[in-house]
């Protein structure tokens, strides 16, 4: 088992420990992998450190060609990559293909962006001085990614880091390392100089600790839970290490009575049931104005009834399993908690077994009504296919209710009024606002959590800046 990629070579871990990877649709063992520890991480960081002068001094055109090659190779291997995503996450193959395409588009975008890293010449108040501002790559980057978007998350972090001229050590999630391995096989073919990209599949605490304490790592970029994000941020403060965090969310989804209900339902299907609700931007609290609660719920049920829940590898599956048993138990416990506190189950509400699903972690898509703010679904990330509907009367109150969260990642609302569109969007305290839009992300748009949802920006040009440092060169020209 040689699945750690360090200094241009495939290696086994020093410890000899292993990691088993399972398919959440049927609990089938997919692969047993070599599992790294602190010694392996140190080696990877050393390799990235050695490679930094090589990569950062390479011409933008040369860097661009390699990143472009990565994009092309991802497209050429689309089906294989997508099937791997489906096997390790359970997500439907159609979603996995989309994710793979987005990963390719990201590398394409950053292959262009690497040519546009410029500085500025400032005017000087002192006539004998000239002022030049240069933007330089920050150094070695430690990147940590989650399991829910395993391939594209690598592209969203490594694309801008590499475009900026940084070298990288990546730690993917334990449940989804197989896509990362395939991505690094592509990196190998694309022709990066040795040490520029390094892969550590290893113990999260050991990798995190080394990223925090190793002075050769100048930047940590992390996507995952707010709990781990806070731990890393606290650790990074010891060396005042630069850190970007994309963390959890608890998105409000507001349907005003003047909304196009079909459009709102279509959007909810994307943002609540896409990826089985396992996204940081997934809608968590569905606020529907009293007059349209019944018709909105009826339309939603009609659509959910037509969505096949099953093994993601089957083409007609729309909703796959949850990532593992503990994720399933968490979702079921949120449903039970809501029921105990007075919610009614309008649809679903249970684990799905039978018809070949018994070994997997399937939850029937669920609609809850009569939900109140004391229930876990109303303030904790459920990370599953549960839509808690909370009816509201007054437009004036709903903004405060929607903003009443420690999270601040995405928010959605639906209305036909242009005036309300602007007024509500400006008042919502979230980094991404979807107005009549259930999928508010494109490759080049900023993705930034407010409050405890994160710090820093991903996406497009904004992301490249996260991997650059600003330097002033002031020149006295009087000899
Ligand atoms: P998680 O438990 O925080 O794990 C994320 C990554 O951190 C994994 O690679 C994990 O490794 C690693 N990790 C865990 N403990 C660590 C430690 N002590 N030091 C260093 N790394 C550590 O989160 P998750 O449950 O996988 O992902 C779901 C969360 O991610 C949700 O909260 C979701 O909202 C958030 N998310 C946010 C965004 C965004 O852009 N804002 C996007 C997607 C997901 P192991 O897998 O080996 O444990």
CATH number at residue 153: 3.40.605.10
* Class of residue 128 by CB neighbours under 10 A (exposed 0-12, middle 13-18, buried 19+): exposed
Q: Does 280 qualify as catalytic in the annotation?
A: yes
Whose CA is closest to 251, among 290, 277, 225?
277
Q: Could you read off the pLDDT of 68-114 as tens digits, one per residue?
A: 999 999 999 999 999 999 999 999 999 999 999 999 999 999 999 99
256 inside domain: yes
Pairwise CA distance, residues 142 & 242, whole Å: 11
Paired with 411 in beta bridges are 433
pLDDT at 413: 98
Ligand 1 centroid to 5 CA: how many Å? 21
Ligand 1 site, CB within 6 A: 144-149, 171, 173-174, 204-205, 207-208, 223-225, 228, 231, 246-249, 280, 381, 409, 449, 454
118 inside domain: yes
479 inside domain: no
Pairwise CA distance, residues 339 & 333, whole Å: 10
pLDDT at 479: 78
Both ends of the chain: CA-CA distance in Å? 63
Q: What are the structure tokens assigned to 186, written together? A: 């592509």
Domain that holds residue 429: 251-443
Q: What is the DSSP string of 222-280?
A: EES-HHHHHHHHHHHGGGT-EEEEE----EEEEE-TTS-HHHHHHHHHHHHHGGGG-ST
Strands (E), 362-435: 366-369, 386-392, 407-408, 410-414, 432-435
Pairwise CA distance, residues 286 & 302, whole Å: 17
Give residue for tokens 């909304």: 259
Ligand 1 atom with least separation from CA of 175: 46
* Class of residue 396 by CB neighbours under 10 A (exposed 0-12, middle 13-18, buried 19+): exposed
Residues 197, 268, single domain; the answer is no
Residues 241, 256, single domain; the answer is no
Pairwise CA distance, residues 330 & 323, whole Å: 11
Q: Does 363 qualify as catalytic in the annotation?
A: no
Residues 314, 399, single domain; the answer is yes
Ligand 1 atom with least separation from CA of 453: 41
* Residue 131 and residue 124 in contact, taking contact as beta carbons nearer than 8 Å: yes
Ligand 1 centroid to 338 CA: how many Å? 26
- CA torsion angle 368 374 377 378 (round to 10): 100
Pairwise CA distance, residues 146 & 175, whole Å: 9
Ligand 1 atom with least separation from CA of 447: 40
- For ligand 1, atom 13, name the residue with the nearest CA: 204
Q: What are the structure tokens assigned to 171, written together? A: 């730690």
339 inside domain: yes
* Residue 125 and residue 151 in contact, taking contact as beta carbons nearer than 8 Å: no
Residue 397 sits in a domain whose CATH number is 3.40.309.10
- For ligand 1, atom 20, name the residue with the nearest CA: 208
* Residue 440 and residue 282 in contact, taking contact as beta carbons nearer than 8 Å: no
Residues 140, 165, single domain; the answer is yes
448 inside domain: no
Q: Which helix (H) or strand (E) holds 9?
A: strand 9-11
Ligand 1 centroid to 223 CA: how many Å? 6
Strands 28-34 and 120-122: unpaired
- For ligand 1, atom 30, name the residue with the nearest CA: 224
* Residue 265 and residue 438 in contact, taking contact as beta carbons nearer than 8 Å: no
Q: How many Cβ atoms sit within 10 Å of the Cβ of residue 64?
A: 18
Give residue for tokens 């407010």: 450
Whose CA is closest to 171, among 137, 198, 190, 140?
198
* Residue 132 and residue 179 in contact, taking contact as beta carbons nearer than 8 Å: no
Looking at the 3D structure of the chain, how many domains does it have? 2
Residues 341, 431, single domain; the answer is yes
Ligand 1 centroid to 60 CA: how many Å? 32
* Low-confidence spans in the chain with pLDDT less than 50: none
Whose CA is closest to 281, among 151, 450, 49?
450
Residues 94, 176, single domain; the answer is yes
Residues 40, 179, single domain; the answer is yes
192 inside domain: yes
Whose CA is closest to 190, among 109, 104, 130?
104
Pairwise CA distance, residues 287 & 284, whole Å: 10
Residues 199, 293, single domain; the answer is no
Ligand 1 centroid to 375 CA: how many Å? 24
pLDDT at 163: 98
Ligand 1 atom with least separation from CA of 280: 34
pTM reported for the whole predicted model: 0.97
Q: What is the DSSP string of 384-397?
A: SSEEEEEEE--HHH
- SS3 (DSSP) at 209: helix
Residues 227, 256, single domain; the answer is no
319 inside domain: yes
Strands (E), 97-239: 120-122, 129-137, 140-144, 167-171, 197-199, 217-223
- For ligand 1, atom 21, name the residue with the nearest CA: 204
Q: Could you read off the pLDDT of 339-386 as tens digits, one per residue?
A: 999 999 999 999 999 999 999 999 999 999 999 999 999 999 999 999
Residues 265, 387, single domain; the answer is yes
Pairwise CA distance, residues 311 & 91, whole Å: 8
- For ligand 1, atom 46, name the residue with the nearest CA: 173
Residues 260, 153, single domain; the answer is no
Phi and psi angles of residue 411, each rounded to the nearest 5 degrees, phi first: -145, 150
Residues 28, 58, single domain; the answer is yes
**Could you say which of 38, 95, 210, 280 is catalytic?**
280
Whose CA is closest to 328, among 345, 301, 348, 352?
352
């Amino acid at each position: 088992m040689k699945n750690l990629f360090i200094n241009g070579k495939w290696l086994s871990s020093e410890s000899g420990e292993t990691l088993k990877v399972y398919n959440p649709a049927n609990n089938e063992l997919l692969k047993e992998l070599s599992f790294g520890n602190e010694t392996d991480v140190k080696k990877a960081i050393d390799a990235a450190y050695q490679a930094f002068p090589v990569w950062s001094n390479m011409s933008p055109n040369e860097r661009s060609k390699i990143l472009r090659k990565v994009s092309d190779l991802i497209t050429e291997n689309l089906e294989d990559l997508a099937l791997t995503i489906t096997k390790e996450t359970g997500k439907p193959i159609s979603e996995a293909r989309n994710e793979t395409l987005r990963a390719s588009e990201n590398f394409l975008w950053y292959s262009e962006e690497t040519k546009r890293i410029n500085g500025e010449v400032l005017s000087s108040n002192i006539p004998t001085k000239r002022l030049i501002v240069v933007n330089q790559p920050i150094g070695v980057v430690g990147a940590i990614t989650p399991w829910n978007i395993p391939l594209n998350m690598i592209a969203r972090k490594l694309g801008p880091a590499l475009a900026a001229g940084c070298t990288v050590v990546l730690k993917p999630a334990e449940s989804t390392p197989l896509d990362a391995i395939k991505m690094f096989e592509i990196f190998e073919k694309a022709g990066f100089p040795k040490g520029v990209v390094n892969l550590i599949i290893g113990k999260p605490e050991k990798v995190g600790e080394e990223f925090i304490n190793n002075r050769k790592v100048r930047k940590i970029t992390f996507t995952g839970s707010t709990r781990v994000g806070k731990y890393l941020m606290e650790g990074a403060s010891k060396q005042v290490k630069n850190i970007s965090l994309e963390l959890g969310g608890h998105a409000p989804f507001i349907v005003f009575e003047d909304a196009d209900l079909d459009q709102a339902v279509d959007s909810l299907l994307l943002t609540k049931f896409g990826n089985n609700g396992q996204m940081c931007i997934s809608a968590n609290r569905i606020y529907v104005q009293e007059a349209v609660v019944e018709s909105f719920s009826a339309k939603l049920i009609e659509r959910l009834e037509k969505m096949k829940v099953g093994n993601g590898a089957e083409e007609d599956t729309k909703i796959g399993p949850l990532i593992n048993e503990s994720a399933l138990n968490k979702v079921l416990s949120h449903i039970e908690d809501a029921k105990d506190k007075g919610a009614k189950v309008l649809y679903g509400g249970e684990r799905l077994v039978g018809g070949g699903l018994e070994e997997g972690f399937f939850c029937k898509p669920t609609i809850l009504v009569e939900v109140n703010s004391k229930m876990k679904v109303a303030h904790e990330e459920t990370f599953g296919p549960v839509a808690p509907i909370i009816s509201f009367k007054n437009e004036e109150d709903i903004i405060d209710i929607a903003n009443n969260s420690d999270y601040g990642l995405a928010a959605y609302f639906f209305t036909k009024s242009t005036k309300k569109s602007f007024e509500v969007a400006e008042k919502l305290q979230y980094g991404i606002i979807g107005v009549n839009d259930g999928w508010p992300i494109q490759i080049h748009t900023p993705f930034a959590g407010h409050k405890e949802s994160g710090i820093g920006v991903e996406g497009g040009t904004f992301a490249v800046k996260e991997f650059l440092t600003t330097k002033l060169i002031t020149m006295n020209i009087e000899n």
